[in-house]
Structure 1
Amino acid sequence: MAKLYTKCDEIPLCRFIEAYNGNLKALVISGMPSDKELQDAASSLMQEYASIIGNNNLSFEISRRNNLINSNIKLTLLDVGENLIEMKAYKDASDVLSYVGIKIGKDYSDNSIKKIFGLIESNRAYIKMRVEMAKRNEQQRLKTIQPKSIDFTRERMIVSTHFKMHIDPMKYTASEYGNVVKIMLDELKEIKNYGKRS
């Protein structure tokens, strides 16, 4: 059984940065996890980190990616269900399609099967439409604002300078680092608000 980093207070900052930048293998402590296990662990870590530093943009991005992954899984299940029906493996098709809310009764007449194919096709069209809308919305969002990926090296230098201390990514956990970033952001916000009151 695979063992993964799933909590920000366990994962070294250097490994978290690698995972954030797309190398999900950095989350592996031991074993051979599935892609789904890696995605779930990464999603959980990113959400936890976003909540630590109070970054809503990161939470939104994670949610968007999760929705896209879920849509792709549903499309795959619809394809598999359709193929199983064509092979007359109705029980297996029923099990698979139940995950996307399609129920197959005990009636396997041509008319019933035709209705099931219609449901599969309408579900597929709806999911594809939602994915296309999400992609268009994302393209619009990217035109209006430039997305900021975190430059952790630069950010770490800013935080180190602010607190006059060295932050070693091999020794700090993602949680410790996130909390230091949050403290710095809160201090800077307080200074800014104090300046407005003066």
Structure 2
Amino acid sequence: MIFRLDERLIFPNPELAEPDGLLAVGGDLSANRLMLAYRHGIFPWYSDETPILWYSPHERFVLYPDEVKISKSMRQVLRSARFTVTVNQSFAQVIEACSAVPRDGQDGTWITEDMKQAYITLHQLGYAHSYEVWTGKELVGGLYGVQVGRVFCGESMFSKQSNASKAALITVCQSGLYDLIDCQLHTEYLESMGSRHISRQTYMQVLEANA
């Protein structure tokens, strides 16, 4: 059963999600609703052609920072100072660049204009963060996500140069700020970096410890 949300700030129990993780439809993208969702292991994923869809996968694809895989060639890239990585310097630019990258399973962008504005608001409130990768003054990669205690809920990343998004993700892992990075859904790219599946129950235990 898929639940339809109204103006009340409530979500159904994530255990009631469909096999594909779909839990609820509707509601809004207010900061209060978004943070309530993230604190309960729920995130929005939809397109302009659909209403707001809320997901809570039965298995979560995550990266433990101390398990990140850094290849020998990537270590050389990091030592070369080819990239400069900053934090929260160009959030709007990062989300705009990410919006041009289709998510697995969708033909077009899943970062709608409403989502851009909602996450920019979360950033202004101190909940959402961006990691920017630069070559000189050119933004060549980055990622953004939402922080829930010591959990970083990664939303999207982009790369205009080889290894740029890897540099951003490795910086997140090495920051010492997080016990877990939530990658949400499986990709081969993130698997190659050391991400793996954990049960929703395990994920929720980490979230609850960080709420």
Shorter-chain TM-score bucket reads under 0.3
**TM-score, with normalisation over the residues of structure 1?**
0.26
**TM-score, with normalisation over the residues of structure 2?**
0.25
Q: Which has the higher helix share?
A: 1
Q: For the pair shown, which has the larger CA radius of gyration, 1 or 2?
A: 1
Larger relative CO (CA 8 A, sep 6+): 1 or 2? Answer: 1
Q: Which has the higher strand share?
A: 2
